[in-house]
Every structure is written in structure tokens, then in C-alpha cells.
């Protein structure tokens, strides 16, 4: 039952937002009593925490699988972007923003976990790109990896990129292209251009 509660809560939180979904809403959707939820989660904060880190673990597992199977580091980054967008329902309720506003402690812990995971996987991707000649061998891998994380989290800031003006899909696509164009070699540039032409969203 715990897994069912987490699964349904994830769906509701991502579609409607952390703030607007109540424990009653979740109980009604599952056809159970609110007491049953409280057996597994003493309060809504604990449920939000469980949902947040369960989703994080699911995304990490998917990213690891993409990294193992991607034909090159350029397509790898695009595949990760598409995978994350799918799992976060295109972020239409701005889950990161809501988490930061209403559950700051959970948000802070998640951000550190995201940084550690992304820093590690982007560093490996950059090193692989340098080895295979698609990224310049003069790049500072640690710096670029940190900049990538900073940019990816920065575009989710509603103050700078209001959702009524910028769709998340557009922001992620544009930032990814911006990032890659700065570090590709001639060989990487050809792969990037070809990939963009084939996958215009």
C-alpha cells in the first residue's frame, strides 16, 4: 500500500502541485481512508519527502541506463533531458519552485543530491566526449560540469523565466544547445547539428 500511495501522490503532485493536493484528495483518488495514509506517513511533509526522493531515485536509475547505452555524449544529454521532462510531466506545475517555497528543507536536500548526481554523470560524459573527439580537449571538465548544473537549475527560476513567457521544454532545449555549442569540436558540431535537425521539438 505504501508504494501505491507514493505512486498516486507523485502523479497528483506533479499534475496539480504540492500545495493544492490534500491528503483527502489522495485518499479519494485511491479509494481508501485518510487514516490508511497516516499509517504509512505521519503527515503530508513526510509524504512529500518520500515522493520527492522516490522520484529522484527513479530518475537516477533511468539516467544511468541512458549513459550506458547512448551512442555519443551529445545524444546522451538530449536523451536525459527528454527522460527527465517525461518524468516531471514537463514541469507544468513548477514542482521545484513549489518545493522550494513550501518545503524548503526537502528542497535543499534534493538540490544537494541532484548536484552530486549531475556533477558525477556530466563529468563522465564530458570526459567521454573529450576522449571520442566530440568535445574540445582544452575544456575544464570540473568547471563545465558545475556550470551545467547551475544553468539547468537557473532556468527553472520563475523569477527570471516566468512560466507564462517560457515553456520548460523550450528553456531546456535552448540551454542544452547553448551548452553544447560552447564545448564541441568540428566533429561534435556536425553530430549536434544533425541531431537537432532530426529531432526538432
Q: What residues pair up with 184 in beta bridges, in sequence order?
A: 135
Q: Look at residue 95 in the predicted model and tell me its pLDDT.
A: 75
Question: pLDDT tens digit string along 25-78?
Answer: 999 999 999 999 999 999 999 999 999 999 999 999 999 999 999 999 999 998
pLDDT above 70 coverage of the chain, percent: 97
Question: pLDDT tens digit string along 67-82?
Answer: 999 999 999 998 988 8
Are the CB atoms for 33 and 85 separated by under 8 Å? Answer: no
For residue 200, pLDDT beyond 70: no
Phi, psi of 184 (to 5 degrees): -75, 155
- The angle formed by the CA atoms of residues 126, 132 and 133, to the nearest 5 degrees, is 85
Residue 7 resides in a domain: no
Q: Report which of 81, 89, 84 is spatially closest to residue 15, judged by C-alpha positions.
A: 89
Number of domains in the chain: 1
pLDDT average, residue stretch 115-133: 95
Q: Report which of 130, 127, 109, 131 is spatially closest to residue 119, judged by C-alpha positions.
A: 127
Residue 122 resides in a domain: yes
DSSP label at 109? Answer: H
Q: Look at residue 34 in the predicted model and tell me its pLDDT.
A: 94
pTM for this model (two decimals)? 0.83
Q: What CATH number should be reported for the domain holding residue 139? A: 1.10.357.10
For residue 92, pLDDT beyond 60: no
Residue 149 resides in a domain: yes
Amino acid at each position: 500500500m505504501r508504494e501505491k500511495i507514493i505512486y498516486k501522490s507523485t502523479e497528483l503532485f506533479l499534475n496539480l502541485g504540492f500545495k493544492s493536493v490534500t491528503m483527502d484528495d489522495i485518499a479519494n483518488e485511491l479509494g481508501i481512508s485518510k487514516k490508511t495514509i497516516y499509517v504509512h506517513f505521519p503527515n503530508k511533509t513526510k509524504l512529500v519527502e518520500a515522493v520527492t526522493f522516490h522520484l529522484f531515485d527513479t530518475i537516477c536509475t533511468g539516467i544511468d541506463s541512458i549513459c550506458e547505452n547512448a551512442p555519443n555524449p551529445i545524444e546522451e544529454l538530449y536523451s536525459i533531458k527528454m527522460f527527465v521532462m517525461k518524468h516531471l510531466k514537463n514541469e507544468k506545475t513548477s514542482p521545484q519552485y513549489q518545493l522550494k517555497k513550501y518545503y524548503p528543507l526537502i528542497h535543499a536536500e534534493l538540490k544537494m543530491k541532484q548536484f552530486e548526481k549531475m556533477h558525477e554523470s556530466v563529468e563522465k560524459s564530458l570526459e567521454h566526449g573529450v576522449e571520442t573527439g566530440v568535445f574540445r580537449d582544452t575544456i575544464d571538465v570540473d568547471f563545465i560540469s558545475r556550470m551545467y548544473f547551475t544553468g539547468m537549475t537557473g532556468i527553472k527560476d520563475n523569477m527570471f523565466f516566468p512560466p507564462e513567457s517560457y515553456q520548460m521544454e523550450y528553456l531546456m532545449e535552448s540551454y542544452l544547445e547553448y551548452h553544447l555549442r560552447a564545448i564541441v569540436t568540428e566533429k561534435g558540431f556536425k553530430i549536434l547539428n544533425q541531431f537537432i535537425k532530426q529531432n526538432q521539438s
